[in-house]
Amino acid sequence: MSRKNLPNIPQRFVASVFRAFLSLRYNITIKGEDLIKLKQPKLFLPNHQSLIDPVIIVTKILKYQKVSSAVSATYFENRLFRAILNWIEAIPVTDLERRGNRDVDVLKKMLDGTVQALSAGKNALIYPSGQLSSQEEERIKNKQGVYRLIPLMPDNVLIIGIRVSGLWGSSWSRAATNKTPDFMHVFKRGIWFLLKHGIFFAPKRTVSFEFVEITEQTKRKAVTSDRRSFNEYLEQFFNETTKNR
């Protein structure tokens, strides 16, 4: 692994601050953490239960390596967010949920940016569903991003699936209103919640992130199955924890 893929000291420090802050509100269990340390470039594929799960995942990966995450271009409109996202080399993706959005090249831009990162030996993170979940179980439906991406990747890329559980029903999820929450509004509410409970004595939500290496089966499915079957395969992987409860 090239040293350019290792996080620098400021990145490690800021990620550690985020992890410490998140630990005030969440009991976080990480399974398969050693997979993050592998030298090959990696494509991380998580399910998307809430707005906060990418923050937890990226700050955990930054403990060991850099990762370029596909992020809604909406967040790049905020100066503070834009500075942070550029700093971690995030890949802007047009938000198709926004009213009036007509960027027909959104898929091509996402594919080009991700392939470029992986070809340079970097890690990338993509949400196969392309949006926040409307239910606890993941539903990728007819999305084609990852299905199109897999055949374009360099052969040495590892595919790491991430099962996220425990965040559905939180204020960061769509459980209460079936709408994507406003990030800053929920963040401010979270700060008030911590202060009200004395910061270190606040109740904590238990959440789990399981990293699983799924390279061979995912590559095989991408070339032998149609898009619908491929997406169903990923849904089964993500929902295994939910179904086995």
pLDDT digits (tens, 9 = 90+) for 64-102: 999 988 777 676 676 767 777 777 777 777 664 544 444
pTM: 0.90
Distance CA 151, CA 168 (A): 32
Sign of torsion over alpha carbons 142, 85, 168, 182: negative
User: What share of the chain in percent tops pLDDT 70?
Assistant: 89
CA neighbor of 133 nearest in space, from 75, 48, 226: 48
**Which are the contacts of 80, defined by CB distance < 8 A and separation ≥ 6?**
none
Antiparallel, parallel or unpaired: β 26-31 and 205-213 = parallel
For residues 171-191, average pLDDT: 90
For residues 205-217, average pLDDT: 97
What's the total number of domains in the chain? 1
pLDDT at 109 (0 to 100): 81
Does 209 have pLDDT greater than 50? Answer: yes
For residues 123-145, average pLDDT: 91
Does 1 have pLDDT greater than 60? Answer: no
Q: What angle do CA 20, 180, 125 make, to 5 degrees?
A: 55
Q: What's the domain range around 17?
A: 3-243
Q: 107-111, 128-132, 186-190, 219-223 — which is least confidently predicted?
A: 107-111
CB 147 within 8 A of CB 230: yes
Does 211 have pLDDT greater than 70? Answer: yes
For residues 178-200, average pLDDT: 90
Question: What phi, psi does 161 have (nearest 5°)?
Answer: -80, 145
The DSSP letter of residue 46 is E
Antiparallel, parallel or unpaired: β 42-46 and 124-125 = parallel
pLDDT confidence of 3, banded at 50, 70, 90? low
CB atoms within 10 A of CB 68: 21
Domain with residue 80: its CATH number is 3.40.1130.10
Does 244 have pLDDT greater than 90? Answer: no
CA neighbor of 48 nearest in space, from 30, 27, 69: 69
What digits encode the pLDDT tens for the residues 39-64?
999 999 999 999 999 999 999 999 99
pLDDT at 123 (0 to 100): 94
pLDDT at 20 (0 to 100): 94
CA torsion 182-183-186-191 (nearest 10°) is: -150
Q: Strands, E, within the chain: which ranges?
A: 26-31, 42-46, 68-72, 91-93, 124-125, 158-165, 205-213
Distance CA 107, CA 114 (A): 11
pLDDT at 130 (0 to 100): 84
What is the average pLDDT value for the chain, to the nearest integer?
A: 87
Q: Look at 215 and 5; give whichever has higher pLDDT.
A: 215
